[in-house]
Structure 1
């Protein structure tokens, strides 16, 4: 499955009755064909996280993380010791460390590539919002300049941080809550608090070009912290994009100054857009063109092999890719009307 694209799907509340909302699918850009991947995965697997360390692949499923050493052809379940096993995020660090974030506020760590695990002590952040779905750790990131500095995005609970490889954790949401007092940063949809929008975290990154600086994508847009999550400032994505609901944010593996951002109308919308920034978010331009993104853009996957290959995925099953640095784009719809796309990886 070299040079392939892997897409993971899982259940979501807005899916039409009878639509498939699960599975792991592999695409060959050369043929445009999708193949359902099942060997070793749980039955009716729901995949919400995909990560890579060298030639080894990892996915997060409803029963825990799985690992593949053969390019995704077969998988082995890496059993977690706790009760919260629905994996939403997975992050390899260094040669053998592995972190996974689950439903609830649980984060597990392995120091032997998933053979053994321990549940880290992550306190529920202040201001955690009770919604119509369980809290989940939707994204993990570490500072490339210091592997001990770990950040986690919680939906809907803001951001927590560890500066010692997960041994202790600090809530980084106080200033996000303070910002929600501003009229344009107030939002409530599924709760009785206006802090909901600012704590509705979706993605975060740290670039090697800016050690100690964290960038966060949430319902209200993009935000930057220059002090490891202590304080946050709006990145004002609305100056460049009419769509500001930020679902994903990625740093290019080939240029630490280049960012990719996924912006839509809302969590369940009929419009999405992909933007690129060459200067760590100081300016942005539309990256996708001549394609129609017809639902919320959920995830971006810059290739680890070449800067010319970038793929992105919309919630209702549209997958888009460029092989020439954005000069042209092609759509690869998932088979059988599969929806609920959460995860994407591109070799």
Structure 2
């Protein structure tokens, strides 16, 4: 019997949903999550598909049973998580991108998180909301090289595994300070 394929989606107002390919109904997955969880990002463990992480407006949650039950992980209260990325060579190492452009790192498969750095753009236009890291990418051939997509502020690069960041907004068309980047990926040429 072949393994089933599960699809997860996050919703702004009603949390997280899952369905199996070929099925018509979505199942709401909220057991253990904060009420009205707003799932901003979802990541499946690269070696164990039963383990799923969800970034929400109330921090990061983990499920060990494909989303049936959730537990809030140890991250400073009040952090809105917008991106989750596993290290390409060590799935125990993970990174979070948050509202306020903060980067957090876990070296124990998401149990505990430590603050790494804040990506700042002193030239960016002040908006009604804090700049968010909407995407993180890690170069697999050199995991010290990381990239971030910022909502309002452009793109950033780290050469020391997320401890410090430099903006890489040269040669973008338009007003870079207002640039709204929602994703980033790194691959071989």
Q: Say yes or no: TM over 0.5.
A: yes
- The 5 A counterparts of 1:251-270 are none
For the Cα contact (< 8 Å) 1:128–1:158, is it kept in 2?
no
* Match for residue 5 of structure 2 among 3, 9, 14: 3
- Within a 5 Å distance, the mapping from 1:220-299 to structure 2 comes to none
Look up the match of 2:83: 89
Give the one of 68, 76, 79 matched to 1:73.
Answer: 68
Contact 2:145 2:160 in 1 (8 A): yes
Could you tell me which residue of structure 1 aligns to residue 144 of structure 2? Answer: 148
Q: Displacement of 1:168 after TM fit?
A: 2.3
Structure 1 segments of 4 or more deviating over 3 A? 194-197
- Structure 1: runs of 5+ lacking an equivalent: 11-20, 180-184, 187-193, 211-347
Measure, in 1, the Cα distance between the counterparts of 2:36 and 2:136. Answer: 25
CA RMSD of aligned residues (A): 1.9
Gaps of 5+ in 2: none
Aligned residues: 182
1:136–1:123 Cα change, 3 Å:
closer
Q: Write the distance in 2 (CA, Å) between the matches of 1:84 and 1:104.
A: 11
For residues 101-157 of structure 1, give each alpha carbon's deviation from its aligned partner in whole angstroms, at most 9, with x where no partner exists. Answer: 111111111111122211112241243232233211101111121222111111001
- The answer to whether the 8 Å contact 2:106/2:114 transfers is yes
Give the TM-score normalised by the residue count of structure 1.
0.49
TM-score normalised by length of structure 2: 0.88
Kindly provide the CA deviation profile for residues 35-91 of structure 1, in whole angstroms up to 9, marking residues without a partner as x.
11011111110001011112221110111111111111111111312x651111111
Measure the CA separation in 1 of the matches of 2:122 and 2:106. Answer: 27
Which residue matches 2:23?
A: 31
- State the secondary structure of the residue aligned to 1:99: strand
Q: Which has the larger Rg?
A: 1
Equivalent residue for 1:61? 56
Does structure 2 conserve the Cα–Cα contact (< 8 Å) formed by 1:84 and 1:103? no
Residue 236 (structure 1) aligns with: none
Corresponding residue SS for 1:148? coil
Deviations 1:215-256 (A, max 9, x none): xxxxxxxxxxxxxxxxxxxxxxxxxxxxxxxxxxxxxxxxxx
Aligned to 1:121: 117
In structure 1, the residue matched to 2:176 is: 195
